[in-house]
Structure 1
Amino acid sequence: MKADREQNNLPLRAGAMLLLAVAVVFFGLAWHSAASGGDDPEKELAEAGAKLPAASLSTSVAATTSSSATTTKAPSLCVFNAGTVAGLAGDVATELEGKGFTVSEPANLTTDSITENTIFYDSGDRSAAQRVSKALGGSVSVEARPDVFTECPDGMPVIVVTR
């Protein structure tokens, strides 16, 4: 009877041993991966780039260069007069156009919440907004566009209050 029980448990033992062997293999692979994994992603990127053919590398560099050139160009500017000086938005728009910026038709903005000259920028446009501020003498505040400011949705708002 004891022999019958041992014979009935033989497939169970074999399955348990197989599972144990698979677990050991997976543990070994995980350890090997962790031990030999690269800690320097930039080095790995450089090594991968070295393996690319020269034509492929020059194409990707040209594509990177052209895409970064388009991100540095300032978007169209919308100049708003939020102050009491008549014609201020028009004067500032003319000044910015003279410095090479693309400017839409100036307009008035009625608000009590903006009390200083301000440029609102969208994500990724901070450096462009800083260039506009510098073109205006650097005394213009540069801030992320609040969600509630919906004027000039396709451009960069320049709000002027004083000269």
Structure 2
Amino acid sequence: MKADRETNRLPLRAGAMLLLAVAVVFIALGWHSAASSGKESGKDKLEQAGQSVASTEQASGTTTAPASTKPSDTTSTQAADVPKLCVLNAGTETGLAKKVSDDLKSKGFAIGTDPSNLSTSSVTENTIFYGEGEEAAAKKVAEAVPNGADVTVRPDNFTKCPGELVVVVVN
């Protein structure tokens, strides 16, 4: 062995300490994430949903144009004063938005934008997003949605389906 040999590697002890420090940081981050995961308010979740919709539209560069609909002959008095609806599927069942859209249409509600998907995990229940002065109409729609729906003010950053009541279905 040569005593004057120089190595360019970290000593084993220094490498072990570095790995230990990194592991402690990751454990602390995991603990913090687990401890704070259930503390989001409904408003926070809805704001995240709006952000994910806006970012999805910006990333893909596509927007959905409102579909033309003719007035239904079977318009019920329940749906007469309700704005057009935009039905979005945030669940895992394929075609759910179309099924709910058809069901609401058969009950006399007017459908605006074609049913489509909403990629978010922050909306976990059927939800109706409404704008200013549309709360009563949103409640009527919520009663007609299969399995019911929560009624919530539309977050400002939720830009999909402007001018329409948004029906987000999960189940």
Tell me the secondary structure at the aligned position of residue 131 of structure 1: helix
Matches within 5 A, 1:9-158: 73-104=81-112, 105-137=114-146, 139-158=148-167
Task: State TM-score, norm by structure 1.
Answer: 0.54
The answer for the alignment partner of 1:29 in structure 2 is none
1:96 aligned partner, one-letter code: L
% identical equivalent positions? 48
The answer for the alignment partner of 1:45 in structure 2 is none
Change (3 A) 1:110 1:137: closer
Q: Measure how far apart 1:107 and its partner are.
A: 0.6
Greater relative contact order (Cα < 8 A, sep 6+) = 2
Determine which structure has more spread, i.e. the larger CA radius of gyration. Answer: 1
Unpaired stretches in structure 1, ≥5 consecutive residues = 1-71
Instruction: Provide the C-alpha distance between the structure 1 equivalents of 2:146 and 2:99, rounded to a whole number of angstroms.
Output: 14
Instruction: Provide the C-alpha distance between the structure 2 equivalents of 1:88 and 1:137, rounded to a whole number of angstroms.
Output: 11
Q: Measure how far apart 1:112 and its partner are.
A: 1.5
Could you say which structure has the higher helix fraction?
1
Report the aligned-residue RMSD.
1.7
Stretches (4+) displaced over 3 A: none
Contact 2:100 2:146 in 1 (8 A): no
Q: Measure how far apart 1:139 and its partner are.
A: 2.2
Tell me the secondary structure at the aligned position of residue 143 of structure 2: helix
2:129 aligned partner, one-letter code: F
